[in-house]
A = this chain, B = another copy of it.
Amino acid sequence: MVFYLIGLGLGDVEDITVKGLSIIKKCKRVHLEAYTSILCYGLDKSKLEEFYGREVIEADRTVVEQNSDEILDGADVDDVAMLVVGDPFGATTHTDLVLRAKERNIPVKVVHNASIMNAVGCCGLQLYNFGETVSIVMWLDGWEPDSYYDKIASNMEKGFHTLCLLDIKTKEQSVENMMRGRKIFEPPRYLTCAEASTQLLKIAERKKASGIEPVYNESSPCVGLARVGWDDQKIVYCSLKEMSECDLGPPLHSLILPGHMHPLEIDMLNTFKLNA
C-alpha cells in the first residue's frame, strides 16, 4: 500500500497535522524514530500512544539504519507509518529509508511539518538570508573539533546568517559499559547556547593566537533560541560573551550568528534583547 513518513513538528503531541493524525489512525503499523531528539522533546511513546489511541513501535538507530526491512515489511500490503520529529527530511537516515522503499516498489508519501530549519524565522531573521547550516559538536576532554568555524566565516563574509544546530548525545555508553558489553546508557546531554558560545569564543582566541583575525569576537551579536514552538520558548539577542553566561533553560537550544542585518530584522531582534 503506502509507506508514510510523517513529521511530528516541534515537539508537542498536538503539533502533528490533522492529515498526519488521520493517517496514523488508519495504518496497520506505526513506528517512531526514537534515537535522535525525541526524548528532549518530551514526546515519549506512552504520551503519543495515548494521544493517537493506538500502539506505537519504537525504532532505535540500529533498526532504522541496519534493519530498515523490519520497518518496511508488510508496507506492500498494508499502510505503514514512520513518525519523525520535525520534518521527515531533516536527517539523511530518512533519505535512505525512502530509497529502500522505492527499491522494494513500495509507494512513499510524506506528511511535512515544521522543523527548526524553518521555525528559526520566528526570531525575525529572514530565512532566505541564511547561508549553510552548521552543526556545533560538543567538546569532550581533549577532543575539540572546530571545522564549523570555516563555514561560519564563509557565511559571514557573504553577509549571510548562520544557523548553528547544537549537538545532542543520546544513548551514549561509557567506555567501561561498552567494553563490558552492558547496554547501559549515559543520561542524554544537549549542548547549550552558553556552551556553544564558549566553544566559539575559544576557537576565535586560537585563530587570533595563530595570527588569523577571527570573523567574530566577544562583542559580536548572536541569537539564542530554546524550545522553539513550545509554550516556554525563549529567544535571547545579545553578544557572544553574554550568551556564554546566559541560561536559556532546558533543551533544545539553537544558536544563530547573524550576518548583514536589515532594519526590520534588527527591530524584531531588539524585542528579544537580554534584559530588555
Contacts and interface: CB of A to CB of B under 8 A. Distances in A.
A105 B115 CA distance: 28
A112 B264 contact: no
B127 A89 contact: yes
A244 to B, nearest CB: 24
A160 to B, nearest CB: 6
A87 B119 contact: yes
A14 B10 contact: no
A27 B135 CA distance: 39
A211 to B, nearest CB: 24
A16 interface: yes
Contacts of A95: 124, 264-265, 267-268
Interface residues of A, number: 56
B9 A14 contact: no
Given A128-B134, A132-B158, A87 B112 contact: no
B118 A114 contact: yes
A173 interface: no
A251 interface: no
A15 B7 CA distance: 11
Interface of A: 7, 9-10, 12-19, 21-22, 87-90, 92, 95-96, 98-99, 102, 110-115, 117-119, 121-122, 124, 126-135, 154, 158, 160, 165, 228-229, 264-265, 267-268, 271
10 contacts: A10-B112, A16-B17, A17-B17, A95-B265, A99-B264, A127-B133, A128-B133, A128-B165, A130-B133, A154-B158
Given A87-B118, A99-B271, A114-B115, 4 more contacts: A9-B113, A16-B18, A95-B267, A128-B134
Closest 3 CB pairs of A and B: A89-B121, A112-B114, A128-B133
